[in-house]
Amino acid sequence: MNEIKKLVIPVAGYGTRFLPFTKSIPKEMLPIVDRPVIQYIVEEAVAAGIKDIVLITGYSKRAIEDYFDYNIELENLLEKSGKTAQKELIRQVSDIASFTYVRQKEQLGTGHALLQLKHLLGNEPFIMVSGDDLYAGTPSRIQRLKDAYEKYNCPALITMERSAPSDYDRYGYLKVAAELEPGIMEVTDVIEHPGFANAPSSHASFIGYVLTPDIFPLLEKTKPRPKGEIYVTDAINDLAHQQKVIAVSGDGLHFHDCGDKLEYLKTVAEFALQREDVGAAFREHLKKLLAD
């Protein structure tokens, strides 16, 4: 069994829910206090032992590449100013992992994005996650996916219970054949946006997968959706009809959808309140705002 060494993050989307900000700045660079969303995801991967990060970018995403690159001019300025702690901080960001960038020249869905990496990934398994979803909790989402793959040697999905009526038009849902052990289920179907009446279960699927090279022939045969997009989940659904695919429960994890305005604001508030440097003062400020 090959070891998982790479994390794939598609970041080429337009981020239209955050216009006009995303006209020039990637949504993955939205700050959570003083670090962008994408950094939290990379740190989650590194904590799980994965240090090869592959980002599928677009023409407007240079800010992500620049963020993880060295900024020698700034480092020299900080050095001359005696701000060595800040210099070390920004150097740590650049050295945290190894980064590879691949362009998706047309934004035609997550499946199309993944096809741009076929030549790069070879025969390796890999983990794929969204560039604007954060998960708080232990073990982390990436660690759970990695552990499940190492135990069952098959593709795996992260899943969480979602049963609000609107959720069934927002997420994919899983048809489960059997529970292999607490928190691990075998999946037979993945249905995108089924609607409440057609949902096979309350197990929602998010962009958090362990995939193997078996996915690429299926992606190449996957029919685009009406808007021309190729969905990874359509290929995973076909894969589940051919071999074992499992779902890993995200129970106990707190999911933050930073691609949604309200959820992003909640995330910033929650993370800020947990900070030692600003948490207490921020809490008092919120109390004052609510009292007024």
For the chain, list the domains and their CATH numbers.
Answer: 6-259 (3.90.550.10)
Q: Amino acid identity of 25?
A: I
pLDDT digits (tens, 9 = 90+) for 243-292: 999 999 999 999 999 999 999 999 999 999 999 999 999 999 999 999 97
pLDDT at 1: 66
Task: Assign 166 a pLDDT band (cuts: 50, 70, 90).
Answer: confident
Those residues whose C-beta lies under 8 Å from the C-beta of residue 160, and which sit 6 or more positions away, are: 203, 204, 206, 249, 250, 251, 253, 255
Rounded distance, CA 11 to CA 31, Å? Answer: 16
The answer to whether 242 touches 212, Cβ cutoff 8 Å, is: no
Rounded distance, CA 283 to CA 278, Å? Answer: 9
Rounded distance, CA 158 to CA 210, Å? Answer: 9
Q: Name the strand (E) or helix (H) holding 288.
A: helix 279-291
**Residue 226, preceding peptide bond in cis (omega within 30° of 0):** no
Those residues whose C-beta lies under 8 Å from the C-beta of residue 215, and which sit 6 or more positions away, are: 114, 155, 232, 235, 236, 239
Q: What is the token pair recorded at 107? A: 């934004």
Confidence check: pLDDT of 72 > 70 = yes
Residue range 53-69: average pLDDT? 93
pTM of full prediction above 0.85: yes
Rounded distance, CA 155 to CA 211, Å? Answer: 5
Of 144, 246, 142, nearest to 187 by C-alpha is 246
According to DSSP, the residues that pair with 32 across neighbouring strands are 35
Q: Hey, how many other C-beta atoms are within 10 angstroms of the C-beta on 195?
A: 11
Q: What percent of the chain has pLDDT over 70?
A: 100
Across the chain, which distance is largest between two alpha carbons, in Å? 64
pLDDT at 80: 93
pLDDT at 207: 87
